[in-house]
Structure 1
Amino acid sequence: MKKKVLAVLLCGCMAAGLIAGCGSKKDEAPKEDTKTADEGSDAEGDKGGENGYHFEVVVKSFQSSYWQAAVKGIEQAEEELGVTADTTGPNNESDIADQVQMLTSAIGKSPDGIALAACDQNSVLEALQTALDKKIPVVCFDSGVPDAPEGSVYATVVTNNGQAGSIAAEKIYESVKDKIAKADKPVRVGEVNQDATSANITERGMGFVNKFIELAEADGKKVAVVGNDYYVGKVEKNNDEKSADIIIEIAVPAQTTVELCATEASNIMNKDDTIAIFGSNQVSAEGVLTANQNLNVLGSDPEKNIIAAGFDAGSTIKAAVADGTLLGAVTQSPLMQGKLSIETLTKICNGEEVEDIETEGYWYDSTNMDDPQISPNLYD
């Protein structure tokens, strides 16, 4: 993995290589999986032509500023393309049933297309089948739906979450490597994931774990992964905790809130052997920082502090990166993802071929927050 800032792919990425997800079977039947308006429109004739399409957008929630940035991208696409889009989402990313109802309602409006950021990759399957039956094209963004009914999802616009999580692992490992080498007893690295249901959080969390294991084993260290059963079950070759040099402890709150993430983070940060912790999205990273308000253990000196990294942006995380409380964070481009999802739906309605779009993660710290490639993605 190259240790450098990775640029988000822009609109030219429409021709980029495919990623797996959202039920796509392009490798098996590329001709059948390329969608156009003739195959996927439920309209009674032309609903206004190239500049008159109407789309429904269902996001995960408006709980974090991440989704507000995505909406800005959607609004930019509306203005540039002459289309309209209504955006809705549940109050909380844990409100899975509410989102499914919103998706069902959106399908009932028979729009020209739907952009979906699914809270849970399995709960939307029935609704996606309904959209397929009604010939309403769906574009997933932020998070894919790997088991979606074949043909229901035309493209996915998603961060390479495994890669993004691995960036945080590389940066944290680089910072604590010497401490691990000198340790005469096991050390602990924490990870707080907001859920164990969405594809993007799962891939990101495992991206961190797998890269940390890879780096540690290259230095001759044994790693044991403990904690949340869902994530532990995804570890291919886990070591016994009693014989491990490094313990990676994964925590998932009962609901997606900063307060509950803070409780999980506190449980890890209170342990004497903890040397580092990663919050894998905005909510969980803010939970780590909330826990630190009472514990005051985070900082930039691995000999004295617990080293922490976050994900996404927002004013709280940015301030913590700037003052050194966080080593740094990885951010996506929610604005571009929102924009690309509407651009992709418009292409479908225009009869153009579309493909999945994969975007990269950016590492930022106090030294590069003003970089022109970084700062546009550091939303408040």
Structure 2
Amino acid sequence: MKKLLQTAALVALSAFGAAHTASAEGERYVFIEHSPDSDSWWNTIKNALGNAEKEFGVTVEFRNPPTGDIGDMARIVEQAAASNPDGIMVTIPDFDALKGPITNAVERGIPVITVNSGTHEESEALGALLHVGQPEFDAGKAAGERAAAAGAETFLCVNHFISSAASTQRCQGFAAGLGVELGNQMIDSGTDPSEVKNKVLAYLSANPETDAILTLGPASAGPTIEAVKENGMAGEIHFGTFDLSDAISAALKDGTILWAVDQQPYLQGFLPVALLTTYNRYGVIVPHHINSGPGFITKENIEAVSAMAGVYR
């Protein structure tokens, strides 16, 4: 941790001379993420970005590859950098594919904060100021330990975005928390609801000894909820998920889902804008990465947060 703090502090100090002279007038930032247009999970982050625009008097452009193609995302990063914004916020779903475009942006003198997916080490290697997000392997491991405490030994990880390293890290962490190998317990479900549901039903039929299910967000959780209700396993199998949605909130309340890992996406949108704005205006930056999660939402506390799902949670 000490080395991490020192590294981030040196990055901030080395860039101070250029950053503190930036004008506050007409500041424009670009937020780039990796998911397709169909992924509604990002609505909370969009809300946070809109609030940050009003709070700080800046403009924030939200961009993503319409189909979730990482090659398209890399080109979006290149285009954003070429437009010379005052800062870029970007996810790291595939370090190798995005290394060139992101480091090029940094070399152009554009302040970069990485968000959501990616590790602290990857963020530093790209030259970013810091990372705001949830350590995905650690979050998965904490979830696996929770399932292990309930007696689970085998599981199904429903990975709806298998091309994202962060998604696989969640599954790997869950296996580590259970103390088992991931092996073939992760399936590539895709995002089509019918296909997700059918693949989950097929896996559970072929592997009736499965003790637990982990879904990685609303895109896979919703169809999986339908699957376990259809095959009679709802409330009988240890079912946990990442993130929140109306369907997940309802499943937490009725006991189909036992817990949801909360990475607090609102913070992943609002904080990077706040940090880049204060960095450009005053030359100050926090000297460390910011972990926005994990936290756990259960039946006991869902009422306190369900009304805010999709807006602030």
- 1:101 and 2:75 equivalent? yes
Equivalent in the alignment of 1:352: 284
- Does the aligned pair in 2 maintain the 1:258–1:283 contact within 8 Å? yes
- 1:55 and 2:26 equivalent? no
Aligned counterpart in structure 1 of residue 160 of structure 2, from 194, 200, 208 = 194
For residues 210-229 of structure 1, the aligned pairs below 5 Å read: 210-213=176-179, 223-227=180-184
Q: How far is the alpha carbon of 1:257 from its aligned partner?
A: 4.3
Aligned counterpart in structure 2 of residue 275 of structure 1, from 211, 215, 232 = 211
- 1:206 and 2:185 equivalent? no
Gaps of 5+ in 1: 1-16, 21-25, 181-186, 214-222, 228-248, 300-304
- Does the aligned pair in 2 maintain the 1:163–1:360 contact within 8 Å? no
The whole-number CA distance in structure 2 between the counterparts of 1:164 and 1:89 is: 25
The whole-number CA distance in structure 1 between the counterparts of 2:284 and 2:94 is: 29
Equivalent in the alignment of 2:58: 83
Equivalent in the alignment of 2:294: 361
Alpha-carbon displacement from aligned partner over 1:17-64 (angstroms, at most 9, x marks no partner): 6897xxxxx6568524545453469xxx74xx3364110111223433
Gaps of 5+ in 2: none
The whole-number CA distance in structure 2 between the counterparts of 1:149 and 1:330 is: 25
Flag the 1:119–1:85 CA change in 2: closer, same or farther, 3 A. Answer: same
Q: How far is the alpha carbon of 1:148 from its aligned partner?
A: 5.8
Q: How far is the alpha carbon of 1:76 from its aligned partner?
A: 1.3
Equivalent in the alignment of 1:329: 260
Q: How far is the alpha carbon of 1:361 from its aligned partner?
A: 1.9
The whole-number CA distance in structure 2 between the counterparts of 1:211 and 1:35 is: 39
- 1:112 and 2:86 equivalent? yes
- 1:370 and 2:303 equivalent? yes
Equivalent in the alignment of 1:132: 106
Flag the 1:125–1:362 CA change in 2: closer, same or farther, 3 A. Answer: same
- Does the aligned pair in 1 maintain the 2:246–2:306 contact within 8 Å? no
Q: Which has the higher helix share?
A: 2
TM-score for both structures, normalised by structure 1 = 0.71
- Does the aligned pair in 2 maintain the 1:51–1:81 contact within 8 Å? no
Q: How far is the alpha carbon of 1:190 from its aligned partner?
A: 1.4
TM-score for both structures, normalised by structure 2 = 0.85
- 1:173 and 2:148 equivalent? yes
Alpha-carbon displacement from aligned partner over 1:222-266 (angstroms, at most 9, x marks no partner): x44321xxxxxxxxxxxxxxxxxxxxx12233x444444434422
Match of 1:379, as an amino acid?
G
Q: How far is the alpha carbon of 1:291 from its aligned partner?
A: 2.8
Counterpart secondary structure, 1:100:
helix
Q: How far is the alpha carbon of 1:335 from its aligned partner?
A: 1.0
Flag the 1:318–1:18 CA change in 2: closer, same or farther, 3 A. Answer: farther
Counterpart secondary structure, 2:224:
helix
The whole-number CA distance in structure 2 between the counterparts of 1:366 and 1:206 is: 26
The whole-number CA distance in structure 2 between the counterparts of 1:329 and 1:124 is: 29
Counterpart secondary structure, 1:172:
helix
The whole-number CA distance in structure 1 between the counterparts of 2:136 and 2:195 is: 23
Match of 1:194, as an amino acid?
H
Q: How far is the alpha carbon of 1:134 from its aligned partner?
A: 1.3
- Which range moves more in the overlay, 144-153 or 318-327? 144-153
Match of 2:58, as an amino acid?
V
- Does the aligned pair in 2 maintain the 1:164–1:204 contact within 8 Å? yes
Q: How far is the alpha carbon of 1:327 from its aligned partner?
A: 1.7
Match of 2:213, as an amino acid?
I
- Does the aligned pair in 2 maintain the 1:121–1:144 contact within 8 Å? yes
Flag the 1:64–1:377 CA change in 2: closer, same or farther, 3 A. Answer: farther
Counterpart secondary structure, 2:96:
coil
Aligned counterpart in structure 2 of residue 339 of structure 1, from 248, 251, 270 = 270
Flag the 1:27–1:314 CA change in 2: closer, same or farther, 3 A. Answer: same
Match of 2:272, as an amino acid?
S
Equivalent in the alignment of 1:286: 222
For the pair shown, the structure with the greater C-alpha radius of gyration is 1
Q: How far is the alpha carbon of 1:188 from its aligned partner?
A: 3.1
CA RMSD, aligned part only?
A: 2.8
The whole-number CA distance in structure 1 between the counterparts of 2:2 and 2:58 is: 26
Alpha-carbon displacement from aligned partner over 1:119-178 (angstroms, at most 9, x marks no partner): 322211110122023111111110126446846311110113234223322333333x2x
- Does the aligned pair in 1 maintain the 2:123–2:131 contact within 8 Å? no
- Does the aligned pair in 2 maintain the 1:60–1:119 contact within 8 Å? yes
- Does the aligned pair in 2 maintain the 1:125–1:147 contact within 8 Å? no
Equivalent in the alignment of 1:298: 234
Counterpart secondary structure, 2:74:
helix
